[in-house]
Protein backbone atom coordinates (compact mmCIF):
# COMPACT_ATOMS: atom_id res chain seq x y z
CA UNK A 1 0.00 0.00 0.00
CA UNK A 2 3.03 2.25 0.37
CA UNK A 3 3.03 2.88 -3.38
CA UNK A 4 -0.30 4.72 -3.20
CA UNK A 5 1.14 7.09 -0.59
CA UNK A 6 4.02 8.22 -2.79
CA UNK A 7 3.82 11.73 -4.20
CA UNK A 8 4.57 10.31 -7.65
CA UNK A 9 1.44 8.14 -7.68
CA UNK A 10 -1.40 9.53 -9.83
CA UNK A 11 -4.53 9.52 -7.65
CA UNK A 12 -6.56 11.29 -10.35
CA UNK A 13 -6.09 8.42 -12.81
CA UNK A 14 -6.91 5.97 -10.03
CA UNK A 15 -10.27 7.68 -9.52
CA UNK A 16 -11.05 7.85 -13.24
CA UNK A 17 -10.16 4.37 -14.45
CA UNK A 18 -10.66 1.93 -11.58
CA UNK A 19 -13.98 0.02 -11.65
CA UNK A 20 -16.99 1.54 -9.91
CA UNK A 21 -18.77 -0.62 -7.36
CA UNK A 22 -22.34 -1.46 -8.40
CA UNK A 23 -25.45 -0.70 -6.38
CA UNK A 24 -25.96 -4.41 -5.64
CA UNK A 25 -23.00 -4.40 -3.25
CA UNK A 26 -24.34 -1.51 -1.21
CA UNK A 27 -27.85 -2.95 -1.15
CA UNK A 28 -26.49 -6.25 0.14
CA UNK A 29 -24.43 -4.52 2.84
CA UNK A 30 -27.31 -2.33 4.00
CA UNK A 31 -29.67 -5.31 4.09
CA UNK A 32 -27.19 -7.18 6.29
CA UNK A 33 -26.83 -4.22 8.63
CA UNK A 34 -30.59 -3.67 8.76
CA UNK A 35 -31.13 -7.30 9.77
CA UNK A 36 -29.00 -6.93 12.89
CA UNK A 37 -30.30 -6.42 16.42
CA UNK A 38 -31.44 -2.81 16.79
CA UNK A 39 -29.28 -1.42 13.95
CA UNK A 40 -28.10 2.15 14.38
CA UNK A 41 -27.47 4.65 11.59
CA UNK A 42 -25.24 7.25 13.21
CA UNK A 43 -21.82 6.85 11.63
CA UNK A 44 -20.41 4.99 8.62
CA UNK A 45 -16.63 4.58 8.43
CA UNK A 46 -14.92 3.62 5.16
CA UNK A 47 -11.35 2.45 5.70
CA UNK A 48 -8.85 2.64 2.87
CA UNK A 49 -11.25 5.08 1.26
CA UNK A 50 -8.88 6.02 -1.54
CA UNK A 51 -10.43 8.73 -3.70
CA UNK A 52 -13.81 8.43 -1.98
CA UNK A 53 -15.81 6.13 -4.22
CA UNK A 54 -17.59 4.43 -1.32
CA UNK A 55 -17.91 7.49 0.90
CA UNK A 56 -19.69 9.45 -1.84
CA UNK A 57 -22.11 6.64 -2.74
CA UNK A 58 -25.57 8.26 -2.40
CA UNK A 59 -27.29 5.22 -0.89
CA UNK A 60 -24.76 5.15 1.96
CA UNK A 61 -24.62 8.91 2.42
CA UNK A 62 -28.37 8.95 2.78
CA UNK A 63 -28.50 6.05 5.22
CA UNK A 64 -26.16 7.39 7.90
CA UNK A 65 -26.05 10.67 9.78
CA UNK A 66 -22.29 10.95 9.24
CA UNK A 67 -19.80 9.39 6.83
CA UNK A 68 -16.07 9.29 7.51
CA UNK A 69 -13.37 8.16 5.08
CA UNK A 70 -9.93 7.12 6.34
CA UNK A 71 -6.85 6.51 4.22
CA UNK A 72 -3.13 6.57 5.03
CA UNK A 73 -2.27 8.26 1.72
CA UNK A 74 -2.34 12.09 1.73
CA UNK A 75 -2.70 12.03 -2.07
CA UNK A 76 -5.80 9.86 -1.87
CA UNK A 77 -7.35 11.97 0.92
CA UNK A 78 -6.73 15.16 -1.05
CA UNK A 79 -8.35 13.69 -4.16
CA UNK A 80 -11.32 12.43 -2.11
CA UNK A 81 -11.83 15.90 -0.62
CA UNK A 82 -11.69 17.42 -4.09
CA UNK A 83 -14.26 15.00 -5.50
CA UNK A 84 -16.57 15.50 -2.50
CA UNK A 85 -16.90 19.15 -3.50
CA UNK A 86 -18.52 17.98 -6.75
CA UNK A 87 -21.43 16.28 -4.96
CA UNK A 88 -24.88 17.67 -5.84
CA UNK A 89 -26.16 20.60 -3.80
CA UNK A 90 -27.77 19.45 -0.59
CA UNK A 91 -25.67 16.28 -0.29
CA UNK A 92 -24.09 15.33 2.99
CA UNK A 93 -20.34 15.91 2.78
CA UNK A 94 -18.10 13.10 4.06
CA UNK A 95 -15.32 13.86 6.48
CA UNK A 96 -11.86 12.57 5.56
CA UNK A 97 -8.98 11.71 7.85
CA UNK A 98 -5.45 10.49 7.19
CA UNK A 99 -5.34 7.31 9.26
CA UNK A 100 -4.47 3.65 9.07
CA UNK A 101 -6.95 0.88 9.83
CA UNK A 102 -4.75 -0.25 12.70
CA UNK A 103 -4.71 3.17 14.38
CA UNK A 104 -8.00 5.08 14.36
CA UNK A 105 -7.23 7.23 17.39
CA UNK A 106 -9.45 10.11 16.25
CA UNK A 107 -12.55 7.92 16.59
CA UNK A 108 -14.22 7.39 19.95
CA UNK A 109 -14.88 3.95 21.37
CA UNK A 110 -18.08 2.30 20.10
CA UNK A 111 -18.91 5.24 17.82
CA UNK A 112 -19.18 3.51 14.42
CA UNK A 113 -22.23 1.57 13.23
CA UNK A 114 -20.95 0.38 9.85
CA UNK A 115 -17.39 -0.20 8.68
CA UNK A 116 -16.78 -0.71 4.97
CA UNK A 117 -13.54 -1.63 3.23
CA UNK A 118 -13.42 -1.71 -0.56
CA UNK A 119 -10.28 -3.20 -2.16
CA UNK A 120 -8.10 -2.44 0.84
CA UNK A 121 -8.57 -5.30 3.33
CA UNK A 122 -5.60 -7.16 1.86
CA UNK A 123 -3.22 -4.47 3.17
CA UNK A 124 -4.15 -4.66 6.87
CA UNK A 125 -2.12 -5.96 9.79
CA UNK A 126 -4.67 -8.33 11.30
CA UNK A 127 -2.75 -8.75 14.52
CA UNK A 128 -3.94 -5.19 15.23
CA UNK A 129 -6.88 -4.36 13.01
CA UNK A 130 -9.53 -6.65 14.51
CA UNK A 131 -8.82 -5.21 17.95
CA UNK A 132 -9.08 -1.65 16.65
CA UNK A 133 -12.36 -2.41 14.87
CA UNK A 134 -13.72 -4.01 18.03
CA UNK A 135 -12.90 -0.77 19.84
CA UNK A 136 -14.49 1.71 17.42
CA UNK A 137 -17.53 -0.36 16.40
CA UNK A 138 -20.72 0.01 18.41
CA UNK A 139 -22.42 -3.12 19.75
CA UNK A 140 -24.53 -4.53 16.94
CA UNK A 141 -22.46 -2.68 14.36
CA UNK A 142 -21.58 -4.31 11.05
CA UNK A 143 -18.49 -4.61 8.89
CA UNK A 144 -18.28 -5.31 5.17
CA UNK A 145 -15.05 -6.03 3.31
CA UNK A 146 -14.93 -6.59 -0.41
CA UNK A 147 -12.13 -7.09 -2.88
CA UNK A 148 -11.77 -7.96 -6.52
CA UNK A 149 -9.20 -10.10 -8.24
CA UNK A 150 -7.56 -9.93 -11.65
CA UNK A 151 -9.62 -8.45 -14.47
CA UNK A 152 -10.90 -10.30 -17.51
CA UNK A 153 -12.23 -9.32 -20.91
CA UNK A 154 -15.87 -10.43 -20.79
CA UNK A 155 -16.09 -11.14 -24.51
CA UNK A 156 -12.62 -12.64 -24.87
CA UNK A 157 -11.90 -15.26 -22.18
CA UNK A 158 -8.97 -16.50 -24.25
CA UNK A 159 -7.06 -13.38 -23.18
CA UNK A 160 -7.15 -14.33 -19.48
CA UNK A 161 -3.92 -16.41 -19.48
CA UNK A 162 -2.06 -13.50 -21.08
CA UNK A 163 -3.31 -11.13 -18.39
CA UNK A 164 -2.42 -13.63 -15.67
CA UNK A 165 1.10 -13.96 -17.00
CA UNK A 166 1.50 -10.19 -17.10
CA UNK A 167 0.15 -9.79 -13.56
CA UNK A 168 1.22 -12.94 -11.75
CA UNK A 169 3.85 -14.63 -13.87
CA UNK A 170 3.78 -18.26 -14.85
CA UNK A 171 3.86 -19.87 -11.41
CA UNK A 172 0.86 -18.23 -9.70
CA UNK A 173 -1.89 -20.69 -8.79
CA UNK A 174 -4.63 -19.35 -6.46
CA UNK A 175 -5.97 -21.88 -4.00
CA UNK A 176 -9.40 -21.41 -2.44
CA UNK A 177 -9.38 -22.36 1.23
CA UNK A 178 -11.67 -21.54 4.14
CA UNK A 179 -11.59 -17.98 5.43
CA UNK A 180 -8.60 -17.53 7.67
CA UNK A 181 -6.90 -20.78 6.66
CA UNK A 182 -3.28 -20.83 7.72
CA UNK A 183 -1.17 -20.49 4.61
CA UNK A 184 1.62 -18.51 3.07
CA UNK A 185 1.81 -16.71 -0.25
CA UNK A 186 3.83 -18.41 -2.97
CA UNK A 187 7.41 -17.27 -3.46
CA UNK A 188 7.94 -14.53 -6.04
CA UNK A 189 7.71 -16.03 -9.52
CA UNK A 190 10.60 -15.94 -11.93
CA UNK A 191 10.58 -12.47 -13.39
CA UNK A 192 10.73 -11.55 -17.06
CA UNK A 193 10.55 -8.25 -18.86
CA UNK A 194 6.88 -8.73 -19.80
CA UNK A 195 5.50 -9.35 -16.30
CA UNK A 196 5.04 -7.10 -13.28
CA UNK A 197 4.55 -10.08 -10.98
CA UNK A 198 7.63 -9.55 -8.81
CA UNK A 199 6.66 -5.95 -8.05
CA UNK A 200 3.39 -6.41 -6.16
CA UNK A 201 3.50 -5.81 -2.42
CA UNK A 202 3.02 -9.19 -0.81
CA UNK A 203 1.18 -10.84 0.79
CA UNK A 204 -1.39 -8.20 -0.18
CA UNK A 205 -1.74 -9.12 -3.82
CA UNK A 206 -1.86 -12.81 -3.03
CA UNK A 207 -4.64 -12.19 -0.51
CA UNK A 208 -6.82 -10.34 -3.01
CA UNK A 209 -6.19 -12.85 -5.81
CA UNK A 210 -7.39 -15.60 -3.47
CA UNK A 211 -10.52 -13.55 -2.66
CA UNK A 212 -9.50 -12.74 0.93
CA UNK A 213 -9.72 -16.41 1.90
CA UNK A 214 -6.45 -16.18 3.83
CA UNK A 215 -7.37 -13.08 5.80
CA UNK A 216 -7.33 -14.06 9.50
CA UNK A 217 -10.77 -14.93 10.83
CA UNK A 218 -12.39 -12.18 12.94
CA UNK A 219 -12.22 -13.30 16.58
CA UNK A 220 -15.35 -14.54 18.32
CA UNK A 221 -16.17 -12.82 20.60
CA UNK A 222 -16.76 -10.00 19.81
CA UNK A 223 -17.47 -10.67 16.12
CA UNK A 224 -20.19 -13.00 14.91
CA UNK A 225 -22.41 -13.94 11.98
CA UNK A 226 -19.66 -13.82 9.36
CA UNK A 227 -20.98 -14.33 5.84
CA UNK A 228 -19.39 -14.47 2.40
CA UNK A 229 -20.79 -13.89 -1.09
CA UNK A 230 -18.73 -14.65 -4.19
CA UNK A 231 -19.68 -12.51 -7.18
CA UNK A 232 -17.40 -14.64 -9.33
CA UNK A 233 -19.78 -16.24 -11.83
CA UNK A 234 -18.47 -19.46 -13.39
CA UNK A 235 -14.81 -18.50 -13.16
CA UNK A 236 -14.06 -20.24 -9.85
CA UNK A 237 -16.10 -23.48 -9.77
CA UNK A 238 -14.44 -24.54 -6.52
CA UNK A 239 -16.64 -22.09 -4.61
CA UNK A 240 -19.80 -23.73 -5.91
CA UNK A 241 -18.34 -27.15 -5.10
CA UNK A 242 -17.67 -25.97 -1.54
CA UNK A 243 -21.29 -24.91 -1.11
CA UNK A 244 -20.52 -21.19 -1.01
CA UNK A 245 -23.00 -18.55 -2.16
CA UNK A 246 -21.95 -17.76 -5.72
CA UNK A 247 -23.54 -14.97 -7.76
CA UNK A 248 -22.88 -13.64 -11.27
CA UNK A 249 -20.03 -11.20 -11.81
CA UNK A 250 -21.38 -7.70 -11.16
CA UNK A 251 -18.23 -5.55 -11.20
CA UNK A 252 -17.75 -4.44 -14.80
CA UNK A 253 -16.57 -1.39 -16.71
CA UNK A 254 -16.69 -0.49 -20.40
CA UNK A 255 -13.53 1.27 -21.58
CA UNK A 256 -12.06 2.31 -24.87
CA UNK A 257 -8.53 1.07 -25.49
CA UNK A 258 -6.85 4.26 -24.23
CA UNK A 259 -8.93 3.73 -21.07
CA UNK A 260 -7.68 0.13 -20.77
CA UNK A 261 -4.13 1.45 -21.01
CA UNK A 262 -4.86 4.13 -18.41
CA UNK A 263 -6.33 1.49 -16.07
CA UNK A 264 -3.25 -0.70 -16.40
CA UNK A 265 -1.13 2.32 -15.52
CA UNK A 266 -2.91 2.64 -12.14
CA UNK A 267 -1.40 -0.64 -10.96
CA UNK A 268 0.98 -0.22 -8.04
CA UNK A 269 3.13 -3.05 -9.41
CA UNK A 270 3.73 -1.13 -12.64
CA UNK A 271 4.70 1.97 -10.66
CA UNK A 272 7.32 -0.04 -8.76
CA UNK A 273 8.44 -1.95 -11.88
CA UNK A 274 9.28 1.30 -13.65
CA UNK A 275 10.97 2.78 -10.60
CA UNK A 276 13.29 -0.22 -10.62
CA UNK A 277 13.54 -0.29 -14.42
CA UNK A 278 13.50 3.32 -15.62
CA UNK A 279 14.70 2.17 -19.03
CA UNK A 280 11.29 0.54 -19.53
CA UNK A 281 9.44 3.74 -18.67
CA UNK A 282 11.57 5.53 -21.27
CA UNK A 283 10.02 3.27 -23.93
CA UNK A 284 6.49 4.66 -23.46
CA UNK A 285 5.14 5.72 -26.82
CA UNK A 286 1.86 7.32 -27.83
CA UNK A 287 -0.71 6.25 -25.22
CA UNK A 288 -3.53 5.45 -27.64
CA UNK A 289 -4.30 1.99 -26.27
CA UNK A 290 -3.12 0.20 -29.40
CA UNK A 291 0.16 -0.88 -27.90
CA UNK A 292 3.47 -1.56 -29.58
CA UNK A 293 6.04 -4.38 -29.57
CA UNK A 294 8.64 -1.68 -28.90
CA UNK A 295 6.75 0.19 -26.14
CA UNK A 296 6.95 -0.21 -22.39
CA UNK A 297 5.65 -3.27 -20.55
CA UNK A 298 2.03 -2.03 -20.68
CA UNK A 299 2.12 -1.25 -24.38
CA UNK A 300 3.70 -4.60 -25.18
CA UNK A 301 0.83 -6.32 -23.35
CA UNK A 302 -1.78 -4.27 -25.23
CA UNK A 303 -0.13 -5.12 -28.53
CA UNK A 304 -0.29 -8.85 -27.72
CA UNK A 305 -3.90 -8.64 -26.53
CA UNK A 306 -5.10 -6.81 -29.62
CA UNK A 307 -3.22 -9.16 -31.93
CA UNK A 308 -4.87 -12.11 -30.20
CA UNK A 309 -8.31 -10.54 -30.78
CA UNK A 310 -7.47 -10.04 -34.47
CA UNK A 311 -6.43 -13.68 -34.74
CA UNK A 312 -9.54 -14.87 -32.88
CA UNK A 313 -12.06 -12.78 -34.82
CA UNK A 314 -10.38 -12.86 -38.20
CA UNK A 315 -10.85 -9.11 -38.50
CA UNK A 316 -8.19 -6.42 -38.36
CA UNK A 317 -10.77 -3.95 -37.04
CA UNK A 318 -10.61 -4.30 -33.27
CA UNK A 319 -13.71 -2.87 -31.60
CA UNK A 320 -13.16 0.54 -30.05
CA UNK A 321 -14.69 -0.33 -26.65
CA UNK A 322 -14.41 -3.48 -24.56
CA UNK A 323 -16.00 -4.63 -21.31
CA UNK A 324 -13.76 -5.62 -18.44
CA UNK A 325 -14.97 -7.62 -15.46
CA UNK A 326 -13.56 -8.36 -12.03
CA UNK A 327 -14.56 -11.35 -9.85
CA UNK A 328 -15.35 -10.02 -6.37
CA UNK A 329 -15.88 -11.36 -2.86
CA UNK A 330 -17.97 -9.68 -0.15
CA UNK A 331 -17.35 -10.61 3.49
CA UNK A 332 -19.70 -9.30 6.19
CA UNK A 333 -20.02 -9.72 9.92
CA UNK A 334 -21.15 -7.87 13.02
CA UNK A 335 -20.08 -7.07 16.53
CA UNK A 336 -22.02 -8.82 19.25
CA UNK A 337 -24.52 -6.95 21.35
CA UNK A 338 -27.11 -4.32 20.57
CA UNK A 339 -27.04 -0.58 20.95
CA UNK A 340 -29.03 0.86 23.82
CA Rg value for the chain:
20
DSSP assignment string, 96-129: EEE-BTTB-TTSPTT-EEEEEEES-GGG--HHHH
Cβ contact 324:248 at 8 Å: no
Tell me, yes or no, whether 211 and 163 share the same domain. no
Tell me, yes or no, whether 169 and 274 share the same domain. yes
Burial of 27 (0-12, 13-18, 19+ CB in 10 A): exposed
| 194 in any annotated domain | no
In which domain, by residue range, is 18 found?
Answer: 2-151+202-252+325-335
Tell me, yes or no, whether 262 and 245 share the same domain. no
Tell me, yes or no, whether 120 and 215 share the same domain. yes
Structure confidence by residue, pLDDT tens digits, 187-214: 454 568 999 999 999 999 999 999 999 9
| 105 in any annotated domain | yes
Domain count across the chain: 2
Cβ contact 179:73 at 8 Å: no
Structure confidence by residue, pLDDT tens digits, 52-77: 999 999 999 999 999 999 999 999 99
Tell me, yes or no, whether 225 and 298 share the same domain. no
What is the residue-averaged pLDDT of the chain?
91
pTM value is 0.90
Tell me, yes or no, whether 57 and 139 share the same domain. yes
Residue 171: pLDDT over 80: no
Residue 217: pLDDT over 60: yes
Structure confidence by residue, pLDDT tens digits, 249-305: 999 999 999 999 999 999 999 999 999 999 999 999 999 999 999 999 999 999 999
Amino acid sequence: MATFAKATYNATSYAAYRPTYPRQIYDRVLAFHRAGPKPQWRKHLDIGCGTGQVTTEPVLLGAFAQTVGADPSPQMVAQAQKLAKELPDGSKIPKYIAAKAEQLDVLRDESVDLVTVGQAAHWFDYTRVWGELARVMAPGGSFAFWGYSEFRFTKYPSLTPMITHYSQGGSFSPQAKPLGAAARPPPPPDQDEDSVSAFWQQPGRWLVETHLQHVPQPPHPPFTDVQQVFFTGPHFPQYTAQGREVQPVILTKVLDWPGVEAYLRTWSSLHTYQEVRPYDKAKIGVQDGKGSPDGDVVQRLLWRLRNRIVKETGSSNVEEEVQLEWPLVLIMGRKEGAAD
